[in-house]
């Protein structure tokens, strides 16, 4: 098992980004300014699920949601951009002592924090705001307003499950 630290997360996230850039240039161009922003790249420092950083998790969710929307003639640009920002909360949610004060439990609070952080650095449209704010539905109650906001609720949960399973399967090898 490799040592899991910020260097490991950054290396893995950059490798995943490089793979996606080679595989799908159209997708990469849509999120290029986001993934190269220093605030967004800070997500590489935080663990999301097991050995996956928050950055890599957002990239997985973004690419999966993008492909689904493109296939079904939905707004794949807003989908890809908002999904890349959906967990921009910038703290280690596992730690009781956090760098930032949060209002309530992480599961309920982090979509609002991510939206606030994302809005400070990017001009978001109404759909992008809704995608970020509602991505935890139905844990958070307000109903998603757009099809794309529903799609992220599934892509996010699927990615979390896959990232966890992949970790256990790699450990068994």
Residue among 51, 75, 87, 148 that touches Fe ion (CB under 5 A): 87
Compute how many residues bind Fe ion; rule: CB under 5 A. 2
Choose one: 22-30, 36-44, 84-92, 145-153; the region binding Fe ion (CB under 5 A).
84-92
Of residues 30-59, those binding Fe ion (CB under 5 A): none
Q: Which is closer to Fe ion, CB of 75 or CB of 163?
A: 163
Of 130, 46, 45, the C-alpha closest to 81 is: 130
The radius of gyration of the chain's CA atoms, rounded to the nearest angstrom, is 15
CA of residue 120 relative to chain centroid, distance: 17
Distance CA 3, CA 10 (A): 12
Q: Is 75 in the site for Fe ion (CB under 5 A)?
A: no
Closest to Fe ion by CB, 139 vs 143, is 139
Query: In Å, how far are 148, 158, 160, 170 from 60, measured between CA atoms?
Result: 16, 10, 9, 18
Toward Fe ion, which CB reaches closer, 128 or 156? 156
For 22, 45, 66, 131, the CA distances from 110, given in Å and listed in that order, are 31, 17, 22, 13
Smallest distance, Å, CB 61 to Fe ion?
6
List the interface residues with Fe ion, window 100-129 (CB under 5 A): none
- The yes or no reply on residue 156 touching Fe ion (CB under 5 A) is yes
Identify which of 32, 39, 37 has the alpha carbon closest to the alpha carbon of residue 17.
Answer: 32
Site for Fe ion in 8-27 (CB under 5 A): none
How far apart are CB 88 and Fe ion at their closest, in Å? 10
- Per the structure block, which two tokens stand in for 58? 């957002």
Pairing of strands 47-49, 52-53: antiparallel
CB of 117 to Fe ion, least distance (A): 13
> Cβ of residue 90: shortest distance to Fe ion, in angstroms?
12
Q: Which is nearer to Fe ion, 75 or 87 (CB)?
A: 87
Q: Where does this chain bind Fe ion (CB under 5 A)?
A: 87, 156
């Amino acid at each position: 098992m490799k040592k899991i630290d910020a260097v490991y997360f950054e290396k893995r996230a950059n490798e995943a980004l490089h793979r996606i850039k080679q595989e799908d240039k159209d997708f990469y161009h849509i999120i290029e300014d986001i993934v190269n922003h220093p605030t967004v790249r800070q997500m590489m420092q935080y663990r999301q699920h097991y050995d996956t950083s928050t950055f890599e998790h957002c990239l997985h969710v973004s690419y999966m949601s993008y492909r689904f929307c493109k296939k079904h003639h939905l707004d794949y640009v807003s989908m890809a951009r908002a999904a890349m920002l959906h967990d921009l909360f910038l703290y280690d949610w596992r730690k009781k002592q956090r760098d930032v004060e949060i209002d309530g439990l992480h599961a309920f609070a982090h979509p609002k924090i991510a939206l606030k952080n994302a809005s400070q650095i990017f001009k978001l449209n109404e759909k992008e705001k809704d995608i970020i704010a509602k991505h935890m539905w139905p844990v958070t109650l307000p109903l998603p307003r757009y099809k794309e906001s529903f799609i992220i609720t599934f892509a996010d949960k699927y990615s979390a499950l896959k990232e966890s399973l992949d970790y256990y399967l790699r450990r068994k090898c």
